[in-house]
Amino acid sequence: MGYEIIAFTFLAFREAKPELIEKAREWTRRQPCVIFASDGEGLGMNSLMITLHRDYASFSRLISNLRQDWQPNIKNVQNFILSVNRPELLVKAFSFQYLEANK
């Protein structure tokens, strides 16, 4: 599909107000690279966003926009990125087919 990077972005927001949740829904709808976003907890963070990018520039633009659009509501942003073009590093491919064996 032409995507090079999968990014897991962990976010810590200052407050979880209902109006911020709606703003987040609207913001992520405008970001076609966002494939999943949710509230959660762990690692000192309270939200997760998973995104796909054709290159590092695309990822960098999204993070810049995120920081700009969400100030002063965001406390911390941490990213874990991986290249899908490095099959030698792949331990197990992402697939729902493995769940079939779990029935």
Strand-pairing partners, residue 71, are none
**Domains present along the chain, CATH in parentheses:** 5-86 (3.30.70.920)
Q: What is the pTM of this model?
A: 0.85
Place of tokens 């998973």: 50
Q: What is the pLDDT of residues 10-64, one digit of tens each?
A: 999 987 777 888 899 999 999 999 999 999 899 999 999 999 999 999 999 999 9
Q: Which of 99, 101, 98, 7 is nearest to 51 (CA)?
A: 7
